[in-house]
Amino acid sequence: MRGIAAGLHALVELPSGGPGKAEIVALARERRVAVEGLADHWTGSGPHPAGLIVGYATPAAHAFEPALDALARLLADAAGRGRP
């Protein structure tokens, strides 16, 4: 993850060879985890890293840990799909 401390969104870069943005976003929707694909926000052409945008401005303080747990489980499950 990366971003600036003053922002309301974090960038999660996806490694090559792992699950794609579309697969992760679809799984996130099934689980009601709000993420967006990074590709939808590029303004220029050229090669760009695959990634997700995660907003963190909405949850109450007590909801951050469960939200991060849900995101971590989502990414782990997406990474494990299709593997023996």
pLDDT in tens, 50-82: 889 888 776 778 888 898 899 999 999 998 875
pLDDT in tens, 19-41: 888 899 999 999 998 888 888 88
pLDDT at residue number 8: 81
Domains and CATH numbers, the chain: 9-80 (3.30.70)
Where does 2-62 have alpha helices with state H? 21-30
pLDDT at residue number 84: 45
**Is the confidence at residue 83, as pLDDT, over 60?**
no
36 strand-pairing partners: 53
Cα angle vertex 53, ends 82, 4, to 5°? 130
pLDDT at residue number 30: 94
> CA-CA distance, 20 to 60, in Å (whole number)?
30
**Is the confidence at residue 7, as pLDDT, over 90?**
no
Name the pTM for this structure.
0.73
